[in-house]
A and B are shown apart, each in its own frame.
Chain A
Amino acid sequence: MFEFTADKCLIELDVNGENKNAIVRPSDLLLDVLRNQFGLTGAKPGCKNGDCGSCTIIMDGWPVKSCLVLAVEAVGHTILTVEGLAGTSPVQKAFVDYHAFQCGYCTSGFLMVCHSLWMMKSDADEEEMEDWLQSNICRCTSYKEIRKAMESVLLQNPQKS
């Protein structure tokens, strides 16, 4: 049984393809560890309550809100943050092409949802796409542009076009 009882403990996390060590409390949130210990500040704190999606990262392929995940829970799982996309995801290019941001605070969260959708469900229809995108809030209301960017990426799927 994996157990973690001390006040602080050393854990190893697989983040963006690298093994990284962190000294954490069992109750530390993944969001805080990514930002404060690894300097990966792409995941943004917003509501810290699971509502806004600005802290979204990808865990084992699926989007999760890192404000609602304990850092210890991530041991043994693969974590991908916006830094790990490193400009290689087609959704990043599409966001630029379609001007899908204004202030940019929500952008990394949206990118992670969109990247996961593209990876896990590249045949998603409009309803499914909308369903995924509704997990995130954009305070600047760039919704239309974000949607168009995502649509353009899904259309690159040969089955669809």
Chain B
Amino acid sequence: MIPIHFEYYRPQTVRQAVETYIRLLQEKKKPLYYGGGSEIISMSRAGDIHPGAVIDIKEIPECMVFEEQNERLVIGAAVTLRQIRDSRMFPLLGTVSKHIADHTNQCRITLGGNLCGNIIYREMSSPLLLSDAQVLFFGPDGVRRALFTDAFQLRMLMNPGELLMQIHISKQYLKSPYRYIKKTANEKIDYPLMSIAALYDQKSWRVAFSGLCASPFRSLKIEEILNQRHLSPLQRAEMVSELVPGQALSDYRGSSQYRLFMLKNTLADMMEEWEHV
């Protein structure tokens, strides 16, 4: 049972959603956009958040769209992880979806919810950081378009009242070679100790990390090292440990030293394998 009362809205258009959000904000009702609801429900139940209203975006056509349009793949924010993995349209994104929570939860968790949620891993961001994705927000002033790498700085940067509406990915990246490794402490299904996503673009590998630091990241300095093929995989992996931008996480899943040790070994293994691409 959720011990608090909140209002529930299910708008049919993005404009209606944003107008409702702004009105509720002015009424001091602490509204939240509602995707799959898994985080909102579990945090409300535990008393970690106290929304006064939720705005369910699952009937807004722009948030439900999932199709190729011209030269891009368009994914609405309310598309579920299950839909993304089943479609096989962007295999790297599908593979990451497959490793978040379990299959039944993937039938509810949405792309927008994963990217905008409070749980720090936000693993769906990694493929988007690597594929020059664009993000479309809808706010009081209408549509705002941004590069995903600019809009996602440690977390999704949104203006007040804005809703994440869609992600656009250029078709050129959809079928690029990729690698994905997720390491967990014990169980197959768990938050990551660390996950590494890699996408091959023409001549070099792009790499993003989740679970290693307090937020997912991509680092061009790290990629520069990883692509120096005249060095051995182990040499490169050792150099990367020095370049992690921020403190490696230390928690009950693993200490920061353990995460860095695992980073070195996992990267070395990954590079051994990708030398053949």
Contact B1 A68 (CB under 8 A): no
Please encode chain A, from 61 to 86, with 1 for each CB lying within 8 Å of some chain B CB and 0 for all others: 01111011110110000000000000
The chain A residue with its CB closest to the CB of B106 is: A135
Contacts of A53 in B (CB 8 A): 102, 104
The answer to whether B107 touches A68, judged by C-beta atoms less than 8 angstroms apart, is no
Cα–Cα distance between A62 and B102 once the two chains are bound (Å)? 13
With a cutoff of 8 Å between Cβ atoms, the chain B residues found around residue A2 in the complex are 9-10, 59
Q: Which segment of B40-48, B157-165, B245-253, B262-270 sits at the interface?
A: B40-48
Say yes or no for A90: interface residue by CB 8 A criterion.
no
Contact of A50 among B7, B10, B38 (CB under 8 A): B38
Tell which of A25, A50, A134 has the most Cβ of chain B within 10 Å.
A50
- Which of A1, A56, A68 interacts with B20 by CB under 8 Å? A1
Q: How far is the CB of B200 from chain A (nearest CB, A)?
A: 24
Instruction: Look across to chain A and name the residue whose beta carbon is closest to the beta carbon of B4.
Output: A27
B window 70-113: CB within 8 A of A: 82, 98, 101-105, 107-108
B189 at the interface (CB under 8 A from A): yes
Q: Is B2 part of the binding interface, using a Cβ–Cβ cutoff of 8 Å?
A: yes
Of the stretches A3-11, A15-23, A92-100, A147-155, the one at the interface is: A3-11
Contact B103 A3 (CB under 8 A): no
Complex alpha-carbon distance, A63 and B108, angstroms? 9
Q: In the complex, which residue of chain B has the Cβ closest to the Cβ of A9?
A: B8
Contact A72–B188 (Cβ < 8 Å): no
B100 to chain A, nearest CB (A): 12
Q: A68-B37, A70-B8, A131-B98 are in contact. Are A32 and B107 (CB under 8 A)?
A: no
B37:A28 contact, CB within 8 angstroms:
no
Interface Cβ pair total, 8 Å cutoff: 92
For B41, list chain A residues within 8 Å (CB).
Answer: 29, 67-70
Q: Roughly how many angstroms separate A159 CA and B41 CA in the complex, as a whole number?
A: 41
B258 lies within 8 A of chain A by Cβ: no
Is the CB–CB distance between A69 and B107 below 8 Å?
no
Total interface residues on B, CB under 8 Å, equals 35
Complexed CA–CA distance, A73 and B7 (Å): 12
Query: In the assembled complex, which residues on chain A have CB atoms less than 8 Å from the CB atom of B105?
Result: 50, 65, 68, 135
Q: Are the CB atoms of A69 and B37 closer together than 8 Å? A: yes
Q: Report A-chain residues with C-beta under 8 Å of the C-beta of B104.
A: 53, 56, 63-65, 113, 132, 135-136
A137–B276 Cα distance when bound, in Å, is 40
The chain B residue sitting closest to A62, CB to CB, is B107
A26 interfacial contact with B, CB 8 Å: yes
Chain A: minimal CB distance from B38 (Å)? 5
Give complex CA distance A63, B103 in Å.
9
Q: A26-B5, A27-B2, A63-B107 are in contact. Are A135 and B102 (CB under 8 A)?
A: yes
Given contacts A27-B4, A27-B6, A62-B82, contact A50 B107 (CB under 8 A): no
Question: Residue B5 contacts which of A25, A29, A32, A73 (CB distance < 8 angstroms)?
Answer: A25
**Which residues of chain A have C-beta atoms less than 8 A from B204's C-beta?**
none
Chain B contacts for A69, CB-based, 8 A: 37, 41, 108
A-B contact pairs, 26 of them (CB 8 A): A1-B20, A2-B9, A2-B10, A2-B59, A3-B8, A3-B9, A4-B8, A27-B2, A27-B8, A29-B2, A32-B1, A50-B105, A63-B104, A64-B107, A65-B108, A68-B38, A68-B41, A69-B37, A69-B41, A70-B41, A73-B37, A73-B56, A113-B104, A131-B98, A134-B188, A134-B189
* Besides A27-B5, A63-B103, 11 new A-B residue pairs in contact (Cβ under 8 A), listed by A number: A2-B59, A3-B7, A25-B5, A27-B4, A28-B2, A32-B1, A50-B101, A68-B105, A69-B108, A134-B103, A135-B102
Residues of A within 8 A of B (CB): 1-5, 7, 25-29, 32, 48-50, 53, 56, 62-65, 67-70, 72-73, 113, 131-132, 134-136
